[in-house]
Amino acid sequence: MKRNRYYLLVLSIVFGLFSCKNESKNDLALNSKNSTENSSIESKVEALLKKMTLEEKVGQMNQYTGFWDVTGPTPKEGNQALKYEHLKKGLVGSMINVTGSKNVRAVQKIAVEESRLGIPLIIGFDVIHGFKTLSPIPLAESASWDMDAIELSAKVAAKEAAASGINWTFAPMVDVSRDARWGRVMEGAGEDAYLGSKIATARVHGFQGADLSSKETIAACAKHFAAYGFAESGKDYNTVDIGTSTLYNVIFPPFIAAKNAGVRTFMNSFNEINGIPATGSAFLQREILKKQWGFDGFIVSDWGSINEMVAHRQAKNGKEAAEIAANAGSDMDMESHLYVSELVNLVNEGKVKESVIDDAVRRILRVKFELGLFENPYKYCDETYEKDVVGSKEINEAVLDVAKKSIVLLKNENNVLPLKKEGQKIALIGALADDKTSPLGNWRIGAEDGTAVSVLEGMQKYKGNTLFFEKGAEFVSGETVFAKELNINVSDKSEFSKATAIAKKVDVVVMVLGEHGYQSGEGRSRSSLGLPGVQQELLEAVYKANSNIVLVLNNGRPLAVTWADEHIPAIVEAWQLGTQSGNAIAQVLYGDYNPSGKLPMTFPRSVGQVPIYYNVKSTGRPNMPAPGEVFWSHYSDITNKPLYPFGYGLSYTTFSYTDINVKNVKDNSFEISVTLTNTGNVTGKEVAQLYLKDDYASVTRPVKELKGFELVKLNPNESKTITFLLTENELGFYNNQGDFIVESGDFTVFVGGDSEAELTTKFELK
């Protein structure tokens, strides 16, 4: 049956105009204050722009990295001397990788006190999950499904970074990805656009706060625009070729959420998308982001991505790449050095209009004014304040809090966990268990090696048991962020016997296995998803000696630990949890914190299932026609089911979902209510999740999609009615023309503790 269709005003959804209805008096007062501030910023921007020469304007679009001792002697030759000269001439708008208030003051001083107009630099840095004190990697934090904790984590990261001179972070990365092979899944919020949008909002709010000019907040950057997470075969920087439906319904939503949360910058991406490098895509940058979404901040290129358009073979040479990128709306050149060398000529030759340059410079200056840099360029450069803030108790408490919340309990047969606190002999096995660097994860360039609390240190704080430690096998050595390949131990099993001997003597074995912190991240794709090196063999050897094992996984991506799931009684997903890692893990193992995390990405059974995600399409042949038949969408050697589904995670207590009801509250809004009960013996938290299925649609829709969740804390036997509201925002979707539409018809709802939720009801949208 052909269904009625009506189009919603796309703009009202995209720009969040619905929220105006709920604006309080305070919000209105704030808005009118903001609009006065905005108009005064706009007039300051215009006044400054009028004073600038073309060279100086282009200078604002130029960003350099600063890997030299800025407080040392002035560089005399080469690239560094050139950068120094450009700083003095006002030909640099931004520096990155200059940190510490003393160093930042030194570069800022050159720009402000030696250049003609004294325009301050915006100082950027990859504050991805903290600066010096680290929270869990973003994928891990996303497993908390706790927006307050995630916001707090970004807030303290901003505070510590700002105290060290930084005023702009290249985060959050909001790239949705369904491919665990891609190393950068560690840096994002996982596979889901809805969860990813909520997390994008929380992170932007955390970094930027309510007042960008405060010395505790920094500008955020939504990256990588767009579709970087869809690199073919999970190989970093690889080609992306996706359809309109995926682009609009899966990839764009977290970027829209970041924009609506007020993110001040975007970064474009290394990949091409459907034949056009994103850096040179006028469709993405000018048409979608700036025109349709009305974004008035600026876009920075990714590192060298303007020049990489030559390698993509879309631009003939660097000059042409600069022309394409600037015309496409890429406002600032990160480390290609092409805007500063080519744009003036390109304008003079008529290939780039001066209005294009003016537009980019306006955007950059606007953000600098908002940060308060013109009022006081040294406001982030207070060394005494820096000493008080960096590594403070407040920041360590916040990162410990989010670290505990990020842990996911994957299996707990016979209640092996929590561990008893007294009278037990426990063997802790695995090189990662006493590693103080790996738990920092990747993207931790501000942090010192060896500053994480190890699992060994965390467990040693519990003194009632006898704890033995054996590595069992060395893991890696000599790794750095720039190392080409990690030196994984794939052959040395000489220490296995020590581990098995100790395992035989104890009540419980805790094994910490998985990936080193540098095995995920940029350029760190993997073609296998098992435990690296000899660790699987170590696990099996120890299992033969004592099968009462708690496996603690450290990893930056989903792993295919199928053997472990079949044999090991307890499995704890502990990712890379940052500075307070060992304390968080010990508190969960000993039951001082009841785990509540839920997976933000599906865990596959084998790498051959990848990409694997819960919100798949039905296909024309979704089910086996009759037992044993062949011609349906499946593999002949493995089930379609994942190892652990999206949204999955256990607790030391149990929960039940009952009494699902649906109520049509307004024309196109429905309230779904369920009763959630803690049916176990201890207090616990549960993430109640709602999934929606549009039964039939003019464009095929996924089998289900997350459209609501709530984190609920309940005492034993306590129940709570949870209500989810579904409005047109949740019921609609983008068609292949990029219009947001809502179609009438039947919908099915599923509610439960993961994406395989079975409690269900239906309703009809008339």
Enumerate residues 571-600 that contact ligand BGC by CB under 6 A: none
Rg (CA), the chain: 27
| Residue 268 near residue 330 (C-beta atoms within 8 A) | yes
Residue with Cβ nearer ligand BGC (303 or 462): 303
Give the helix/strand (H/E) hosting 63: strand 62-65
Asked if 754 interacts with ligand BGC (CB under 6 A), we say: no
Asked if 303 interacts with ligand BGC (CB under 6 A), we say: yes
Residue 695 among the catalytic residues: no
Q: Smallest distance from the beta carbon of 300 to ligand BGC, in angstroms?
A: 8
**Among residues 146, 175, 179, 302, which one is catalytic?**
302
CB-side exposure of 591: number of CA atoms within 13 Å? Answer: 14
Q: Which two tokens stand for residue 153?
A: 């984590």
Residue with Cβ nearer ligand BGC (95 or 357): 95
Q: Smallest distance from the beta carbon of 303 to ligand BGC, in angstroms?
A: 4
Helices of type H across 354-495: 354-370, 383-389, 393-406, 455-460
Minimal CA–CA distance to 228: which of 278, 156, 285? Answer: 278
**Sign, Cα dihedral of 736, 740, 744, 748:** positive
**Residue from 57, 129, 159, 223 binding ligand BGC (CB under 6 A):** 223
Enumerate residues 112-151 that contact ligand BGC by CB under 6 A: 126
Asked if 537 interacts with ligand BGC (CB under 6 A), we say: no
Q: Which two tokens stand for residue 549?
A: 């094992």
Give the helix/strand (H/E) hosting 742: strand 740-743
Residue with Cβ nearer ligand BGC (302 or 686): 302
Asked if 236 interacts with ligand BGC (CB under 6 A), we say: no
Residues in the chain: 766
Provide the 3-class DSSP secondary structure of residue 433.
Answer: helix
Around Cβ 608, how many Cβ atoms within 10 Å?
A: 12
Q: Smallest distance from the beta carbon of 5 to ligand BGC, in angstroms?
A: 39
Query: Residues near 61 by Cβ (< 8 Å), separated by ≥ 6?
Result: 93, 326, 331, 332, 333, 339, 340, 343, 357, 360, 361, 364
Enumerate residues 496-535 that contact ligand BGC by CB under 6 A: 522
Provide the 3-class DSSP secondary structure of residue 276.
Answer: strand
Q: Smallest distance from the beta carbon of 336 to ligand BGC, in angstroms?
A: 12
Residue with Cβ nearer ligand BGC (101 or 279): 279
Q: Smallest distance from the beta carbon of 87 to ligand BGC, in angstroms?
A: 19
Minimal CA–CA distance to 473: which of 512, 520, 419, 510? Answer: 512
Residue with Cβ nearer ligand BGC (270 or 475): 270
Residue with Cβ nearer ligand BGC (126 or 272): 126
Asked if 302 interacts with ligand BGC (CB under 6 A), we say: yes
Interatomic CA distance for residues 408 and 596, integer angstroms: 7
Q: Smallest distance from the beta carbon of 223 to ligand BGC, in angstroms?
A: 6
**If binding means CB under 6 A, how many residues of this protein chain bind ligand BGC?**
6
Residue with Cβ nearer ligand BGC (335 or 401): 335
Residue with Cβ nearer ligand BGC (183 or 558): 183
Interatomic CA distance for residues 160 and 150, integer angstroms: 16
Residue with Cβ nearer ligand BGC (125 or 644): 125
Minimal CA–CA distance to 164: which of 119, 130, 196, 136? Answer: 130
Minimal CA–CA distance to 234: which of 183, 290, 200, 291? Answer: 183
Q: Which two tokens stand for residue 446?
A: 């501000």
Enumerate residues 151-170 that contact ligand BGC by CB under 6 A: 170
Residue with Cβ nearer ligand BGC (100 or 752): 100
Interatomic CA distance for residues 333 and 345, integer angstroms: 16
Interatomic CA distance for residues 438 and 431, integer angstroms: 10
Enumerate residues 467-486 that contact ligand BGC by CB under 6 A: none
Interatomic CA distance for residues 133 and 575, integer angstroms: 17
Residue showing tokens 């095929």: 700
Interatomic CA distance for residues 553 and 562, integer angstroms: 13
Residue 257, strand partner residues? none
Q: Which residue is nearest to ligand BGC (CB)?
A: 170
Q: Smallest distance from the beta carbon of 400 to ligand BGC, in angstroms?
A: 26
Interatomic CA distance for residues 490 and 706, integer angstroms: 40
Site string for ligand BGC, 169-208 (x = CB under 6 A): -x--------------------------------------
Using CB under 6 A as the criterion, which residues of the chain lie in contact with ligand BGC when the complex forms? 126, 170, 223, 302-303, 522
Which active-site residues does the annotation give? 302
